[in-house]
Amino acid sequence: MPGFEMFGALERAEVQDVLDSGVLMRYGFDGMRNGHWKARELEQALAARMNTRFAQTVSSGTAALTVALASAGVGAGDEVIIPTFTFVASFEAVLALGAIPVLTDIDETLCLNPSAVEKAITGRTKAVMPVHMCGSMADLKPLKAICDRHDLLLIEDACQAIGGSYEGKPLGSYGDVGCFSFDYVKTITCGEGGGLITDNETFYRNADHYSDHGHDHVGSDRGAESHPFLGYNFRISELNAAVGVAQIRRLDEFLRIQENHYGILAESLAGLEGITMRKIPVTGVQNYSFLNFFLPSEALARNAHKALAAAGIDGCFYWYDNNWHYYRKWEHLTELKTLGSVSPEVQEKLSGLKDLTFPSSDHWMGRNLSCLIKLGWSREEVAQRGEKIKNVLREVLGAA
């Protein structure tokens, strides 16, 4: 990742189709668009690749999460269980609907811990939203069993893990709804964009309407369409979708490159005593966009992160101190820094969040380093990078 490293003739041709027609909006203007419907084409390709009945494209991954939750019936006062390690969009989408994000511990998968999820369920819980972080997945089978037992929705945030699988099913297709981001730094990109997939026709129809101001899209006269319910504008543009049409055709090519690069780097670290790899569920196949490993202690992880940067090895992240991805830096959430007032229910539920700690999550995140896998590297560059990382880590561990 990311897919922009591989932009070429396919992407340019798809964008040129849109520019030639002059129609940048995904709906209407039927006579002008020369038969090109890029958003629709991307949806068909996404559903086919993910083996689901339906797909809906939207303006971002955040929009995909918001639309998915709303389309499945999540609303004001409902609780949605999310992990302590995620992107801020996870709780933003929940709060946008007046629902309540419930932060819950992760485990060595770096994703939701099923045991912690079971303990977090209350009478107001409506959904569990595992986030498949850094290219790999939560252990979905026990999470689904919990959801089935408590009659809860399972909403997969697969924004960082497109192309991975669990029990042979593409990530995003295991739960009730799955969500993807196609932003500029994802494995496949539209520049800005997102999508959701589902086998549930009602959820799909809701998403189709909700993401376009509630339009029912019946007939060929947009001005005459009815509005079965309120909606908002989460539409993707034809220009963005056009880039996605080209990129999704290349997804499996990108995955093969990432897997090859990952294998070289992982082999470089294989003999280092004290380095352990992130747990991948037994039936899971990651998309190989990140190499994630643990050091023996937080102090060593911090030292290694600084040493890797000093050695000129970019793209290695220490998420424990990152203000986008880990709960410890989410003061805007824990202190409810909003432009407007929030509902009493949300205020009450989140009032004690600033005092909560998650030592089980800290145990894993404090020792974790996460190294980006780039598509544009040559095999020689990957091998050199692996050797550099190994030497830096060996020095850090040897000095301990």
- Among residues 126, 144, 186, 390, the one annotated as catalytic is 186
Helix, strand, coil share of the chain (percent; to 5): 45, 15, 40
- State in Å, rounded, how far the first CA of the chain is from the last one: 33
Question: Which helix (DSSP H) or strand (DSSP E) does residue 334 occupy?
Answer: helix 331-334
Full DSSP string of 229-294? S---B-PPPHHHHHHHHHHHHTHHHHHHHHHHHHHHHHHHHTT-TT-EEPP--TTEE---SEEEEE
Residues belonging to the chain: 400
The rounded distance, in Å, linking the Cα atoms of 392 and 382 is 15
CA torsion 310→316→317→318, rounded to 10°?
-60
The rounded distance, in Å, linking the Cα atoms of 58 and 192 is 9
Can 186 be counted among the known catalytic residues?
yes
Q: Which residues contact 3 (CB under 8 A, 6 or more apart)?
A: 186, 187, 188, 189, 247, 250, 254, 375
Alpha helices in 83-198 (DSSP H): 89-96, 114-120, 140-150
Catalytic residues: 186
